[in-house]
C-alpha cells in the first residue's frame, strides 16, 4: 500500500515537473501581459503564476484527462480578474509599466485582449469565463485592438513602444 | 487594415520580449501546492471527525433520554373517592 502510494507520488511529481517545464514560459508571458509589467521585472506576474500552478498541483489527481494548461490558465485569468476589478484604480496599485506591450490598456481590456488573441480562446468561452455578455467581449476586444495599434497621444514621452510611423 | 491583419499585428506586438522564467519556480509551486493539499486534508479530517462526534452524541442522547417513550400524563388528576 505504502509502496504503491510512493510510486504514485513520484509519477505525479514527474508528470507535474514536465508540465511546469513546458507551460511555465508561456503562462508567465500571459501573466506578464495581464499585469502590464516590464518583461525583465515581473513580481506580480510571478506571484499569479505560482498561485495558478500551485492550484493545478493541488488538483492534479482530480483533473482526469482535463488539460492542466487549461486549468492553470483559467485560474490565472479569474484570479487576475478578481484582483483587478476589486482594486481597480486603488492607490496602492501601480499603473502598467510603459515598457509593457499593453501599457496603454486598462486591466479589463488587457485581460480580454490577451485571452482572445494571445491565448486564442473563443469569444463565447471568454464571456462565460468572465461572466460578461458575448457582445461586450467582442466590443472590448475590438476597441483594445484599435488602441494598441493606434495608441492615443502618450501622456509621457517615455511611452512609444507601439507607435506607428506617420504615413 | 481588415480584422485578421489587425489581430495578427496585435499578436506580433504581444509576442515581443517574453519574460524569463525564474529558476526556483518549480520548488515554490510545489511548496505552495503541498501546503494547499495538506490544508485540504486537515479540513476533510476535521469535518469527518465532527460528523462522527455528532452521530455518537446523538446516539448516546437517544439511548439515555428515550424520546420515543410516551411520558406519563400529568394533566388529568387521579380519580379518587367516588
CA gap B31, A79 in Å, rounded: 19
Torsion A44-A84-A130-A36 (CA) sign? negative
List all residues 6 or more positions away from A151 whose beta carbon is below 8 Å from its beta carbon.
A104, A159, A162, A163
**CB interface of B with A, residues 21-60, below 8 Å:** 21-22, 25-26, 28-30, 32-37, 40
Residues in chain A within 8 Å Cβ distance of B18: 25, 28-29, 39
Q: Is there a domain that residue B32 lies in?
A: no
Tally of domains in chain A? 1
For chain B, helix, strand, coil in percent to 5 are 65, 0, 35
Q: Give the closest residue to A34 by CA, choosing from A54, A22, A17, A51.
A: A51
Length of chain A: 167
Say yes or no: B65 contacts chain A, CB-CB below 8 A. no
Distance from C-alpha of A27 to C-alpha of A111, rounded to nearest angstrom = 13
Positions in chain B short of pLDDT 70: none
Could you tell me if residue A60 is inside a domain?
Answer: yes
Residue A160 lies in a domain: no
Q: What is the pLDDT of residue A157?
A: 54
| Inter-chain residue contact A55 with B22, CB threshold 8 Å | no
Q: What is the CATH number of the domain that holds A15?
A: 1.20.140.160
Q: Is residue A157 part of a domain?
A: no
Q: Within a domain: residue A123?
A: yes
Minimal Cβ distance to A50: which of B10, B15, B28: B28
ipTM of the modeled complex: 0.72
In a domain, residue A162? The reply is no
All residues of chain A having their beta carbon less than 8 Å from the beta carbon of residue B44 are none
A101 three-state secondary structure: coil
Question: CB–CB of A57 and B34 under 8 A?
Answer: yes
> Is A166 part of any domain?
no
Would you give the DSSP letter of residue A100?
Answer: S
Only one residue has cell 446523538, namely B58
Q: How far apart are CA B77 and CA B7, in angstroms?
A: 93
Cut 0.90: pTM above it: no
Q: Among residues A98, A94, A127, which one has the least CA distance to residue A112?
A: A127
User: B43 lies in which domain range?
Assistant: 39-63
- Would you say residue B48 lies in a domain? yes
Q: What is the pLDDT of residues A17-49, one digit of tens each?
A: 999 999 999 999 999 888 888 878 888 889 999
Query: How large a percentage of chain A has pLDDT more than 70?
Result: 82
Best mutation target among B12, B14, B20, B36 (most A Cβ atoms within 10 Å) is: B14
Q: Mean pLDDT, to the nearest integer, of A133-140?
A: 94
Residue A154, domain member (yes or no): no
- What average pLDDT does this structure show over A80-98? 64
Using a CB-CB cut-off of 8 Å, the residues of chain A touching B33 are: 53-58
Q: Which of A90, A92, A82 is nearest to A34 (CA)?
A: A82
- The boundaries of the domain holding residue A129 are 2-149
Question: Domain total for chain B?
Answer: 1
Quick check: is B45 in a domain?
yes
* pLDDT value of position A135: 94
Taking the Cβ of residue B12 and every Cβ of chain A, the question of whether any pair is shorter than 8 Å is answered with: no
Amino acid at each position: 500500500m505504502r509502496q504503491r502510494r510512493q510510486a504514485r507520488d513520484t509519477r505525479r511529481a514527474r508528470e507535474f515537473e514536465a508540465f511546469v517545464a513546458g507551460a511555465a514560459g508561456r503562462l508567465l508571458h500571459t501573466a506578464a501581459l495581464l499585469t502590464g509589467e516590464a518583461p525583465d521585472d515581473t513580481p506580480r506576474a510571478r506571484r499569479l503564476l505560482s498561485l495558478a500552478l500551485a492550484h493545478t498541483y493541488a488538483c492534479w489527481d482530480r483533473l482526469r484527462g482535463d488539460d492542466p494548461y487549461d486549468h492553470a490558465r483559467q485560474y490565472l485569468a479569474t484570479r487576475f480578474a478578481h484582483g483587478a476589478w476589486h482594486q481597480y484604480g486603488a492607490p496602492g496599485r501601480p499603473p502598467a509599466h510603459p515598457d509593457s506591450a499593453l501599457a496603454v490598456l486598462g486591466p479589463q481590456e488587457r485581460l480580454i485582449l490577451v485571452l482572445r488573441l494571445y491565448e486564442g480562446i473563443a469569444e463565447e468561452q471568454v464571456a462565460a469565463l468572465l461572466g460578461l455578455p458575448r457582445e461586450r467581449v467582442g466590443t472590448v476586444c475590438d476597441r483594445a485592438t484599435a488602441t494598441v495599434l493606434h495608441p492615443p497621444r502618450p501622456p509621457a514621452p517615455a511611452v512609444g513602444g507601439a507607435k506607428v510611423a506617420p504615413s | 487594415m481588415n480584422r485578421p491583419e489587425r489581430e495578427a499585428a496585435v499578436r506580433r506586438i504581444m509576442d515581443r520580449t517574453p519574460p524569463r522564467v525564474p529558476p526556483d519556480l518549480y520548488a515554490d509551486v510545489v511548496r505552495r501546492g503541498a501546503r494547499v493539499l495538506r490544508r485540504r486534508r486537515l479540513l476533510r479530517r476535521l469535518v469527518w471527525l465532527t460528523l462522527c462526534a455528532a452521530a455518537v452524541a446523538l446516539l448516546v442522547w437517544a439511548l439515555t433520554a428515550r424520546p420515543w417513550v410516551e411520558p406519563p400524563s400529568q394533566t388529568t388528576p387521579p380519580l379518587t373517592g367516588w
